[in-house]
Amino acid sequence: MDYSEKSLMQGDCLKLLKVISSDIFQPKLVKLILLIVFGVHLIVDLLTLRALLVNELDFKEFVFYGPVFFGSFYGMMALLTLVLKDDFISNLKQEFRLWPLDCAGDEIYSQIKFENKIIKIFVVFNCIVTFIGSYLYFLPLDSDNETFYAVRFIEENYPDHRNLLHGLYRSTFLIFGYAMTVHVYQVIYNSQHLRYQIIIFTEYVASIGNPDKRKENELFYDKGFQKVVYERLKFCIMRHQEFLVISNKKVGDMRVFIVGYSLCGCLLGISLTFYIFSGKFYREHFPRVAVACVGAVATFWAVITAGQAIESEYDSALSTLLGKIEWYYFNDSNKKNYLVMLINLMQPWKIKFSEEYAVNYELGLGIVRAIYSIVSVVASMHFEV
C-alpha cells in the first residue's frame, strides 16, 4: 500500500447527483425563476393566513387548505436553500482532497462502484416519482378550490382571468415539487463522497503495522520497520484531521437547514393527518396523495440511510484499528502516535444538528414513532365522533 501523497480524484463518480442538485441551479436565470416561485407561494400563504385571521376562513376550512399551506413552507425553504446556499456541494473538491477510488485496491474499488450504481438507481427512481407527483399537482381537479386556497381566491376575485392565473399558479408546482427533493441529493452527494474516502482510509489504517516480509520477532528492534510505521501513522493522522475539518464545516452548514426542514416536515405531516381524517377526502385525490407519500417515504429513507451509513463506516474504521493493527510491535514513540490516532478516531462522527440528535436510524425511528402517535390520537378522536 502506497502511503505517499495521493493524486486527486479525476472526474466525479457522483456527477449525476451534482448535476441535478447543484449545477442546473447555478445560472442566474434559474435562480430568478426559483425566487419568483418562492414569491408566488409566499404571497399565497400570506393570503391564506390573512383569510384565517379576518374570519374569511373558519378553522374547518383551514384544515382542508392546511396540507398545501404547511407543505409550501417546506418547499419555500428548499428554494431558499438552493438560492442562498448554492455552493454546498459545488466546491467539495476544493475544500477536501478526494483520493482516487482505486487507490486502496481492486476489491474496495469494486465495492464502491457497486454502491454507486445503487445510488444512481435510487436517484432515477425518485426523480421519476417526483416528476409524476409534480405533474399530478399541475393537472386541475374539480375539487381544487377546496384544497388550494389560491384557486378559490382567484375564482372569487379574478374570475375573468382565472384560466391564466390558475395555469401560472399550477405551473409553479412543476418546479416546487422537484425543489423539495434536491437537498436530499445534496446530502447524499456529500455524505457518500466522504464515506467512500473513509472506506479507502480504513484500508490504509489497517495496513499501518503490516510487517511486509520481516520476521515478527525482530520487528520491535527493526529501525527500518519502525520508521515505516512512523511515516504511516503520521500519514493517517494528518488524513484524519482533514476528515474532521470537512466534517465540522459541512455539518455546520447543514445544521440550521436540518432543523428547519425537520420543523416544516412535522407541520406538513400533522396537517396531512388532520386532512385525511377530516372526512373530505375525494377519490380523485388518491393518485396525488399516493405518489406524494411514495416520494416522501423514499426521500426520508434516503436521508436517514445516508446519515447512518457514514456513521457506521466511521465506526467500522475504529473497529479495524482496534482489531487488525498489531501495535505491540511498535516502539515507544510509535505507540504514542498510535494512541493519538486512537483518541482522535474515538470521537464519534455523526451528522448532528443538536447535542442530542443526529441523522441516523435512531432519529428516523423517533420520527416514525412521533407520527404514529399523532395519527393514533387523531384517528381515535375521529372514530369516537
Residue 366 lies in a domain: yes
pLDDT at residue 100 in the model = 87
Provide the percentage of residues in the chain whose pLDDT is more than 70. Answer: 81
Residue 360 has pLDDT above 80, yes or no: no
pLDDT at residue 34 in the model = 94
How large is the average pLDDT for residues 255-275? Answer: 71
Residue 35 has pLDDT above 90, yes or no: yes
Residue 213 has pLDDT above 60, yes or no: no
pLDDT at residue 361 in the model = 57
How large is the average pLDDT for residues 344-371? Answer: 64
How large is the average pLDDT for residues 220-246? Answer: 84
Total domains present in the chain? 1
For residue 317, name the pLDDT band (cuts at 50, 70, 90): low
pTM: 0.83
How large is the average pLDDT for residues 22-37? Answer: 93
For residue 96, name the pLDDT band (cuts at 50, 70, 90): confident
Residue 5 lies in a domain: no
Residue-range definition of the domain harbouring residue 351:
15-384
pLDDT at residue 295 in the model = 85
Residue 71 lies in a domain: yes
| SS (HEC) of the chain | CCCCCCCCCCCCCCHHHHHHHCHHHCCHHHHHHHHHHHHHHHHHHHHHHHHHHCCCCCHHHHHHHHHHHHHHHHHHHHHHHHHHCCCCCCCHHHHCCCCCCCCCCHHHHHHHHHHHHHHHHHHHHHHHHHHHHHHHHHCCCCCHHHCCHHHHHHHHHCHHHHHHHHHHHHHHHHHHHHHHHHHHHHHHHHHHHHHHHHHHHHHHHHCCCCCCCCCHHHHHHCHHHHHHHHHHHHHHHHHHHHHHHHHHHHHHHHHHHHHHHHHHHHHHHHHHHHHHCCCCCCHHHHHHHHHHHHHHHHHHHHHHHHHHHHHHHHHHHHHHHHHHCCHHHCCHHHHHHHHHHHHHHCCCCCCECCCCCECCHHHHHHHHHHHHHHHHHHHHHHHHC
How large is the average pLDDT for residues 127-142? Answer: 91
Provide the percentage of residues in the chain whose pLDDT is more than 90. Answer: 19
How large is the average pLDDT for residues 149-178? Answer: 92
Residue 1 lies in a domain: no
Residue 9 lies in a domain: no
pLDDT at residue 310 in the model = 74
Residue 8 lies in a domain: no
pLDDT at residue 38 in the model = 95
pLDDT at residue 214 in the model = 54
Residue 2 lies in a domain: no
Residue 174 lies in a domain: yes
How large is the average pLDDT for residues 78-94? Answer: 82
